[in-house]
Copies of this chain bind each other. A is one copy, B any other.
Amino acid sequence: MDEATTTALLQAVAAGAVTPAEAAQRLKRLDVEDVGFARIDHHRSLRKGFPEVIYGSGKTPEQIATIAERLAAAGQTVLATRCKGADFEAVRERVPDAVYHPVPRCIVAVRASPPRAPGTVLVATGGTTDIPVAEEAALTAELTGSTVERLWDVGVAGIHRLLANRERLLEANALVVVAGMEGALPSVVGGLVDRPVIAVPTSIGYGAAFGGIAALLGMLTSCAPGILVVNIDNGFGAGYAAGMINRMAGVTGP
């Protein structure tokens, strides 16, 4: 439950739209809610500015749906990543307004909207096959309050495709650069802009790509300063951090 929601709840109580008992019930859930197989960290949205996100891989549809239901019931936006169609079916039964995004494989149900950040986050990919990871980043950044620019298939083997978009690169407050194979794109982008570049290696490639290790190592050892790296295929983490950085523009201190 983020601050806006807390304020809204208290205003609703003042206005008589919510009884104090109901409000108390909701606030109590702010702490940790134990549902047996999970302890839902309702407090996180207060601490981190965004609710706990459900990592769907390895959880049963039933588990995903239960957590989604409790988050939604607490007035928190639901974001579940790495979900299959069966996961969505289970969630939709409990959270009817949930929506499935098939390319990034995410389930979303928006509740409290975060304030819009003034600038933009640019998400770029080296190739077409990097798009699912990039869309996970873009969706996450959007949900956390940022406007997102998408720039697909600007890999370094045809450097003119990237350079033709130099202006768009320079306009962003934070950049997420998604690439597989040798993962060279963040180095080139990082040499052109003066804002943080979050590099996302993808598992695209074969042989010595080693499921994203080549790209990961390339990004970690980039000769361009200011490159920050997340895990292989971790579009969510990149979008989350990019949104966090973008929200800082306009902020005047701690």
Selected from B50, B82, B172, B210, the residue in CB contact (under 8 A) with A217 is: B210
Q: For residue A28, give the distance in angstroms from its CB to the closest CB of chain B.
A: 14
Question: Is the Cβ of A158 less than 8 Å from the Cβ of B32?
Answer: yes
CB contacts (< 8 Å) of A230 on chain B: these are 220, 227-229
Contact stretch, chosen from A8-16, A89-97, A147-155: A147-155
> Mask for A220-243, Cβ within 8 A of B = 1, else 0?
111111111111111011001100
Question: Is the Cβ of B229 less than 8 Å from the Cβ of A152?
Answer: no
Question: Is the Cβ of B196 less than 8 Å from the Cβ of A245?
Answer: yes
Q: For residue A137, give the distance in angstroms from its CB to the closest CB of chain B.
A: 12
Copies of this chain held together in the complex: 8
Residues 178-225 of A contacting B (Cβ, < 8 Å) = 181-184, 187-188, 190-196, 198, 201, 203-225
Question: Is the Cβ of A220 less than 8 Å from the Cβ of B196?
Answer: no
User: Complex formed: what's the CA distance from A128 to B40 in Å?
Assistant: 10
Q: For residue A55, give the distance in angstroms from its CB to the closest CB of chain B.
A: 8
User: Complex formed: what's the CA distance from A33 to B220 in Å?
Assistant: 28
Contacts A32-B160, A172-B254 given; does A184 touch B187 at CB 8 Å: yes
User: Complex formed: what's the CA distance from A114 to B225 in Å?
Assistant: 17
Contact stretch, chosen from A69-77, A105-113, A118-126: A118-126
Contacts A182-B187, A184-B188, A207-B234 given; does A153 touch B37 at CB 8 Å: yes
A-B contacts, 20 of them at CB < 8 A, read A38-B153, A39-B158, A47-B193, A48-B191, A49-B194, A55-B129, A58-B129, A118-B253, A157-B224, A159-B188, A173-B253, A182-B184, A182-B218, A184-B188, A207-B211, A207-B212, A225-B241, A229-B229, A245-B245, A245-B248
